[in-house]
Homo-oligomer: A and B are copies of this chain.
Amino acid sequence: MSAMLLHLASYAPNARVVTMFLHEKALELPLREITHGQNREPAFVRMNPMGQIPVLEFPDGFCLSENVAICEYLEAQNPDPPLIGADDRERAETRMWARRLDLNICEHLANITRFGLAEDYFRSHILVVPEIIPGLAAMVEDRLRWLDLQMGDGRTFVCGERFTLADILLFCFLDFADTRVKPVEPGLTRVTGWLERVRARPSAVATRPRYPDQAAS
């Protein structure tokens, strides 16, 4: 593990998914902080042709990107404590929830940021379509209301009593959106309760982002 290198911008939700996952596993990896724009330069794009962080670089040069794929690899190599699952059925349930949240909430929140708050940066690197932000935001609100209903059975975490990758994934994006874009509707009390519960975890505190535009504090 220690011969690997994790390239990231530590304040970005996509990177925080991995650092929070590592913290929950009590694992450490050498980190390389990527500066604004460096991830679009040829040296980086050779590692990830999507130009996105995080990237896990292996000693032989193999490079793995996509937060969920990196976490799956880390869990396969370090099964305890299980954050995806201890058996095939648990892993299946976590992956089901992670994909639901990824497709219906997290990626929409990421695109709302890419085309909105961070448009000035992204415009020079990727296709941005700011005109779809209201539609994406409506979908996120609709899905958060749906999630709030699902959590009406009193579950502590997304998959019930297990804290999993699905929680980490949703948390990193929703914490970002709640803090920087638009607070979660207060009426969604199960979602906001869950958000506060996860925020209190040592892994969330340890990976709390400091944004480049924030004064050091």
Contacts and interface: CB of A to CB of B under 8 A. Distances in A.
Interface of A: 49-50, 58, 62, 64-66, 68-70, 72-73, 76-77, 88-89, 91-93, 95-96, 99-100, 102-103, 107, 126-127, 129, 131-132, 135-136, 138-139, 142, 146, 149-150
Contacts of A70: 92
Given A103-B103, A127-B138, A136-B132, A89 B69 contact: no
29 contacts: A49-B146, A49-B149, A50-B100, A58-B89, A64-B92, A64-B96, A65-B96, A66-B99, A68-B95, A68-B99, A69-B93, A69-B96, A69-B99, A73-B88, A73-B91, A73-B92, A76-B88, A76-B92, A102-B103, A107-B107, A126-B142, A127-B138, A127-B142, A129-B135, A129-B138, A129-B139, A132-B132, A132-B135, A132-B136
> Binding site of A, secondary structure by majority: helix, strand, loop or mixed?
helix
Contact of A62 (B89, B99, B107): B89
Nearest to A111: B139
Contacts of A107: 103, 107
A38 to B, nearest CB: 20
A126 B126 CA distance: 30
Contacts of A100: 50, 66
